[in-house]
Amino acid sequence: MSYSTNSFRRALLLLPVQLYRDQKLTQVLDDWPAQGNNLRSPKFLLSGTDYIYMKLTGPQGMGNSAIQVTVTSDSDSTGITFPLAEISPGIYSNQGAVLPLRLDKTTVDLTAGSTTP
C-alpha cells in the first residue's frame, strides 16, 4: 500500500507591534520608564470608550488578514486575535475595515470594538 501526503510549511514571523491612541497612528501609547525607585507607569489612562490601534512593519504584499496579532490579558490568557489590514506596502494595522481594540468597561477585559455590555 502506498499513499502520499501533502506537507505544509508555516512560517512564524515575530514582528514588533507599535500601539497608538488615534486612527492616524500619530499618538503613541507608551509608558513612563522606571527610574530610580519609581516603577514603570502609564502615561495615559484609558476609558471603556477609548480605542487602541496597532501598527507593524513587515514584508510587503502579504495583503489583508495575512498577519494577525493576539492580545491577551491577565484575566484572559486565550485573548483575542485581530487580523491586520495592509494599509500601505509593508504597513499593517487594525484601522479601517478591521475593528480597533477596545477596553470594555463592563468586563474589564480586552475586547474588539463591541459596545454591548
Residue 108 lies in a domain: yes
Cell numbers at residue 113, please?
Answer: 470594538
* Residue 107 and residue 76 in contact, taking contact as beta carbons nearer than 8 Å: no
Residue 88 lies in a domain: yes
Give how many domains the chain has, as a whole number. 1
Please compute Rg for the chain using Cα positions. 18
Find the angle CA(45)-CA(51)-CA(57) to the nearest 5 degrees. 110
Residue 11 lies in a domain: no
Cell numbers at residue 67, please?
Answer: 498577519
* Residue 60 and residue 13 in contact, taking contact as beta carbons nearer than 8 Å: no
* Residue 21 and residue 50 in contact, taking contact as beta carbons nearer than 8 Å: yes
Domain range for 67 is 18-112
pLDDT digits (tens, 9 = 90+) for 35-58: 999 998 888 887 777 888 889 998
pLDDT digits (tens, 9 = 90+) for 83-97: 888 989 999 988 654
pTM exceeds cut of 0.85: no
